[in-house]
């Protein structure tokens, strides 16, 4: 699956949330997500632009591989493989055993809304601030996806600096 | 969790199965298991005596890491980490992406019975023949485990050559 999205640094999530709710969009989910990132023993994922992430959200544990970003401009597209796993602790132990090292952690409070043919996500990221993401539905072509993202960005006032770096990369940059 | 077990090459599973059923032991599960083994890009698991296995059994997908055998004599003990995962296909794709190569496959028809404080497993392994395994319950001490295994081996006639090699190793040896 190719994920096409924009990420915008915003000063305040409230006006965006108000507009989304005023239009009657539905809250898909909200909650705290705790993400641990692992680096490979054979190639540095921060150089190959890959990511291996283990996410804890509510009762759910999710393992995700992300391929290198292939986006152009302010859009970001990358291959993503997601799988639910039974236990964070056991998956973490297996990853350590096969040589993967936990390198960073990102914690955020996330709200997701279904808006048009996309998902809008409002994130409060520990140590980084507030962000809005618009991710087009997977079944759209790239052109349809970009058009839908622009339409939503304008309609809901999701404007500001567009970032193609991940939260992990932003945190690592900040720590330098 | 440390797994303490013996594996015995047997000519015929029927007399063992008959004795187990005559004692009223309960069938835990039976079915075909398809195991794929992966090797690490950084160290050869066949040399370090580790294993990373993805098992398909019925509707269930199970990822397992096994540490090096630390058994002595005819017993086999090794660290084992098991986790259910949502999908064989996605887990396989993630393993390939992070550099692990599928090196071998083992298919068998397995029946498992709860017998005393152990699990007795009767396996028909494609290309290898028939085997009975006795695995002591995880909560037993090593001494208790070995005693319980010997008691069951004698009571149920699970006698013959004891092997500490895994089916994977036996298959690889055969292919040489």
Chain B nearest-CA distance from A90, in A, is 6
Among chain A residues, the shortest Cα distance to B99 is held by: A42
Looking at every residue in chain B, the average pLDDT score rounds to 92
Among chain B residues, the shortest Cα distance to A53 is held by: B94
Please enumerate in sequence order all residues whose Cβ is within 8 A of that of B25, keeping only pairs 6 or more positions apart, or say none: B113, B114, B115, B120
Average pLDDT over residues A19-25: 93
Residue B114 CB burial class (10 angstroms; 0-12, 13-18, ≥19): middle
Nearest to A99 among B42, B91, B97 (CB): B42
Q: Note whether A131 and A7 are within 8 A (CB).
A: yes
Q: Note whether A140 and A77 are within 8 A (CB).
A: no
How far is residue B41's CA from residue A95's CA, in Å, rounded to a whole number? 14
Nearest Cα to Cα of residue A5 among A116, A107, A119: A119
Q: Note whether A150 and A119 are within 8 A (CB).
A: no
- pLDDT-based confidence at A71, cuts 50/70/90? low
Q: Between chains, do A81 and B97 touch, taking CB under 8 Å as contact?
A: yes
Q: Between chains, do B83 and A86 touch, taking CB under 8 Å as contact?
A: yes
Q: What is the pLDDT of residue B35?
A: 96
Chain A residues near any Cβ of chain B (below 8 Å): 40-43, 50, 52, 63, 65, 67, 81-87, 90-91, 93-94, 97-100
Using the predicted structure, report yes or no on whether residue A74 has a pLDDT greater than 80: no
Which residue's structure tokens are 């008959």?
Answer: B18
Query: In Å, how far are A20, A48, B32, B51, B161 from B123, measured between CA atoms?
Result: 58, 44, 10, 19, 15
Average pLDDT over residues B112-117: 94
- pLDDT, tens digit (0-9, with 9 covering 90-100), for B45-92: 989 999 999 999 877 899 999 999 886 667 777 889 999 999 999 999
According to the 3-state scheme, what is the secondary structure of chain A? CEEEEEEEECCCCHHHHHHHHHCCCEEEEEEEEEEEEEECCCCCHHHHCCEEEEEEECCEEEEEEECCCCCCCCCEEEEEEEEEECCHHHHHHHHHHCCCEEEEEEEEEEEEEEECCEEEEEEEECCCEEEEEEEECCCCCHHHHHHHHHHHHHHCCCCCEEECCCHHHHHHHHHC
Q: Note whether B104 and B96 are within 8 A (CB).
A: no
Q: Which residues of B touch A83 (CB under 8 A)?
A: 85-87, 90-91, 94
Both structure tokens of A79: 């291959």
| DSSP-derived pairing of the beta strands A2-9 and B76-85 | unpaired
Q: What is the pLDDT of residue B69?
A: 82
Chain B nearest-CA distance from A151, in A, is 33
Average pLDDT over residues B142-170: 93
Q: What is the pLDDT of residue B71?
A: 66
Q: What is the ipTM of this complex?
A: 0.76
Annotated catalytic residue, options A34, A37, A65, A113: A37
B163 phi/psi in degrees, rounded to 5:
-115, 140
Q: Between chains, do B84 and A85 touch, taking CB under 8 Å as contact?
A: yes
Average pLDDT over residues A64-68: 93
Using the predicted structure, report yes or no on whether residue A13 has a pLDDT greater than 80: yes
Q: Note whether A129 and A9 are within 8 A (CB).
A: yes
How far is residue B22's CA from residue A46's CA, in Å, rounded to a whole number? 60
Both structure tokens of B53: 């296995």
Active site residue A37: yes
Where would I find the beta strands (DSSP E) of B126-165?
129-136, 161-163
| DSSP-derived pairing of the beta strands A26-39 and A101-115 | antiparallel
- pLDDT-based confidence at A155, cuts 50/70/90? very high
Among chain B residues, the shortest Cα distance to A87 is held by: B83
Nearest Cα to Cα of residue A52 among A34, A42, A43, A40: A40
Q: What is the pLDDT of residue B164?
A: 87
Q: Give the angle subtended at the CA of A136 by the CAs of A19 and A120, to the nearest 5°.
A: 30
How far is residue A60's CA from residue B118's CA, in Å, rounded to a whole number? 32
Nearest to B90 among A83, A94, A98 (CB): A83
Using the predicted structure, report yes or no on whether residue A123 has a pLDDT greater than 90: yes
How far is residue B152's CA from residue B161's CA, in Å, rounded to a whole number? 16
């Amino acid at each position: 699956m190719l994920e096409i999205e924009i990420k915008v640094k915003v000063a305040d999530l409230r006006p965006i949330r108000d507009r989304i709710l005023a239009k009657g969009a539905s809250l898909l989910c909200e909650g705290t997500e705790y993400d641990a990132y692992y680096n490979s023993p054979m190639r540095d994922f921060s150089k190959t632009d890959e990511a291996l992430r283990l996410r804890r959200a509510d009762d759910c544990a999710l393992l995700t591989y992300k391929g290198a970003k292939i986006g152009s401009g302010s859009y970001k597209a990358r291959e993503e493989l997601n799988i639910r796993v039974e236990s964070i602790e056991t998956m973490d132990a297996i990853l350590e055993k096969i040589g993967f090292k936990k390198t960073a952690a990102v914690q955020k409070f996330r709200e997701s809304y279904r808006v048009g043919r996309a998902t809008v996500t409002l994130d409060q990221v520990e140590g980084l601030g507030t962000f809005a993401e618009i991710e087009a539905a997977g079944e759209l072509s790239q052109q349809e996806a970009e058009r839908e993202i622009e339409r939503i960005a304008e309609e809901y006032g999701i404007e500001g600096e567009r970032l193609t770096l991940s939260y992990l990369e932003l945190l690592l940059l900040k720590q330098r």
